[in-house]
Structure formats: structure tokens, C-alpha cells
Amino acid sequence: MKPKVYVNRLIPEEALKKLAQSCDYRIWEGELAVPRDVLLKEIPQIDALLSLLSDKIDGPIMDAAPKLRVISNMAVGFDNIDVREATKRKIMVCNTPGVLTETTADFAFALLLAAARRVVEGERNVREGKWKTWGPMILLGHDIHHATLGIIGLGRIGAEMAKRAKGFDMRTIYSDSVRRPELEKSLGVEFKDLKTLLAESDFVTIHTPLIPETHHLIGEERFKIMKKTAILVNTARGGIVDPKALYNALHTHQIAYAALDVTEPEPIPLNDPLLTLDNILIVPHIASASIATRTKMAIIAVDNLLAGLKGERPPHIVNPEVLAG
Ligand code: DGY
């Protein structure tokens, strides 16, 4: 009998074909995240789950799944999964790092450029019939070239941001929990403590995972340190920025602008005060959304899942301790 798998959303076909070769799978075909009651009904039968970052996979879900051996998240981030609970139950948790690095950095840089040069406001003005003339004072933005970019978290995506910044002749500084001397040399970036980074940066871009230590890392006190002209870009996780503090910082022009691919919560409710502001650009968590990258992510998620089901070490397991003993 083939192992049983539940797939929490429609994913690229290539990945589903691969899965079908050795598993019986069922899939949630809804447009929105699989409802919890549906998942609770499906999960008792399955050996592996292919989950997404929008699915909360916690202890009670795992309690309903006595056969579950692998949770394969189609994302590099896995803050939607209670890994500690999974580890307790010897369930492997996997993710899809690497393949989305450049795609995400491309998009973070696109947000940076769009925010600095007021691309969205310009486009909106044209559609609203506000383009009356060329004007010396119209839609003045901020230069990117020779500005200082502050990268919070010089991991894979952060390092790709530094590469892109080089092409724009930016000065790049970074802060991280550890120093990265090789990258400092190869990318020409300088290490700064977070306070100094926030004080010196014209652009601050976040590339750290959401863990208890980074929850609301950028809050009221930290906004006060930033330049009044600063632009904040977040393509990591919404929870890293305190949304109330962000609203106040933007509303009082403590900082100039924010460009967000991620929010807390997601999706951002239509009545969220952030959506009343003009100095913010928000897009719906699409930084990794290129056809090629999403296909690669889905295939890696399937490969992880199949390896785990075969009793092999999945290529990207985040709790390898479950394999010991
Ligand atoms: C991830 O994989 O964690 C990204 O946020 C998806 O865009």
C-alpha cells in the first residue's frame, strides 16, 4: 500500500506528478488555506503532510495524526509549525531553503526601488487623472545610489541584497547575531550593532527569521533611532515589526516610508490603520512568487517528504534530532 499524503493547497503540477509516483495523495483545492476542521478530518489517515506557511500546524493537529511522520513545509520559513511539538512526537519537519534566495532578494530590491522613487504613487496619480504637467517639485523621492543600506540578517537573502546594492553603488552595513567575516570581505559590507545600523541607514531591509528573539524586533524605541528619511523594507515575516509602532512611526513621519511584503496578521485586514496611510506600500507576500521558484520549492517540498517517508534523511530537515536513535 502506498503511503497517504495530504497536500494543503494546489501546488505546481510537476511536484504533484512526482508525489503521485509513490504516494496516494489528497489535496485541498480551495483558494484559501485549508480550514482547520477539514485538516483535522483528513489528518488521522495520513503519513505525511505538505503544508504551507499559511497553515498553523500545532500540537492539537499533530495529536489527531497518529501516523504522521513528515511535515514538509513549502517555504523556507517554518514559524507556522510548532517544531518543538513535532520533535516530541518524532515527526520530521522540513523546509525549502536556497531556491528562493535570489527571487526574494530581487523582489525586496524592487520594493526598495519602488518605495524610494514613489513608483506606486506615480502610477496611481496617472490613473486618477492627476498627471497635469511635468513639475520640478512633483513626486520627489530618494536616491538609491550612494545611499546606505542596512541589512538586518546577513543570511542567504541578506547577502543577495548586498550584491544587488553593490550594483547601485550603495554603502552596505549589516547586523546579525553572528559576524560573517568572509561575507564582509567578499561583499564589502560592514558589521554594525543594530542601534548603529538603524541610525546610519537610509534603507533598512529585514532578512531574519521570525523567532521569539526577533518578534517585534523593530518597535517604538527602534523607530526613534531611525532617520526621518529612512525607508523600511520587510520581506521576511510581518511579526518582526510591531505594527502599532510602525503605524505611529509612519503617521508622525518618524520614518519616511515602509514597503512590506509581509504583515502581522496576514492577510492584513482592510480596516487596519496602516492601510489609511499614504507612505506605505503593501503587497500580499509574493516575494518568492516567480513561476520557476515556486516550482522548485514545490519539488523540494515533495523530495523532502518522500525521503522522510522512505526512512531517509530529508535534504532539508529542520529538526534532525528526531532521526537520532
Ligand atoms: C518563505 O518561503 O518562507 C517565504 O516567505 C515564501 O515567500
Residue 177's pLDDT band (cuts 50, 70, 90): very high
Residue 77 CB less than 6 A away from ligand 1: yes
Residue 135's pLDDT is 96
3-state secondary structure of 314: coil
Q: How far apart are CA 267 and CA 76, in angstroms?
A: 19
pLDDT of residue 237: 98
Percent of the chain at pLDDT > 70 equals 100
Global pTM reads: 0.96
Report how far apart, in Å, the C-alpha atoms of 61 and of each of 24, 56, 204 are: 21, 9, 37
Q: Is ligand 1 within 6 A of the CB of residue 8?
A: no
Please state at what angle helix 291-309 crosses helix 13-22, rounded to 10 degrees.
10
What's residue 218's pLDDT?
Answer: 98
What digits encode the pLDDT tens for the residues 146-167? 999 999 999 999 999 999 999 9
β-strand partners of 47: none
Task: Please give the grid coordinates belonging to residue 107.
Answer: 523582489
- Residue 38's pLDDT is 97
Classify the phi-psi angles of 36: left when phi > 0, otherwise alpha if psi is within -120 to 50, otherwise beta. Answer: alpha
Helices 156-167 + 101-116 axis angle, to 10:
50
pLDDT band with cut points at 50, 70 and 90 for residue 283: very high
pLDDT of residue 203: 99
Alpha helix segments (H runs only) across the chain: 13-22, 36-42, 59-63, 83-88, 101-116, 119-127, 156-167, 181-187, 194-200, 220-225, 243-251, 291-309
Tell me how far the alpha carbon of residue 252 lies from the centroid of ligand 1, in angstroms: 31
Q: What is the mean pLDDT of residues 18-28?
A: 98
Whether 325 has a pLDDT exceeding 90, the answer reads no
User: Which of the listed residues 72, 104, 266 should we mutate to test ligand 1's pocket, taking the one with most ligand atoms within 8 A of CB?
Assistant: 104
Confidence class for position 280, pLDDT limits 50, 70, 90: very high
Confidence of residue 129 (pLDDT cuts 50, 70, 90): very high
Say whether pLDDT at 82 is over 90.
yes
Q: 23, 29, 26, 25: which is closest to 10 by C-alpha?
A: 29
Residue 3 CA to ligand 1 centre (angstroms):
27
Residue 248: name the closest of 277, 216, 268 by CA.
277
Q: Which pLDDT belongs to residue 252?
A: 98
The pLDDT of residue 1: 92
**CA–CA gap between residue 194 and residue 53 (Å, rounded):** 28
Predicted pLDDT of residue 209: 97
Is 318 a pocket residue for ligand 1 (Cβ < 6 Å)?
Answer: no
**CA-nearest residue, atom 2 of ligand 1:** 75
Query: CA 149 to CA 312: how far, in whole Å?
Result: 42
**Which pLDDT score, from 0 to 100, does residue 298 have?**
98
Decide: 301 in ligand 1 pocket, CB within 6 A: no
3-state class (DSSP) for residue 69: coil
The pLDDT value recorded for residue 245 is: 98
Can you tell me which atom of ligand 1 is nearest the CA of 236?
5
pLDDT digits (tens, 9 = 90+) for 56-81: 999 999 999 999 999 999 999 999 99
What does the mean pLDDT of the chain come to?
A: 98
Task: Give me the mean pLDDT over the 244-259 stretch.
Answer: 98
Average pLDDT (94-122) is 98
Q: Is 287 in the pocket of ligand 1 (CB under 6 A)?
A: yes
Q: How far apart are CA 122 and CA 248, in angstroms?
A: 24
pLDDT value of position 296:
98
Atom of ligand 1 nearest to the CA of 78: 3
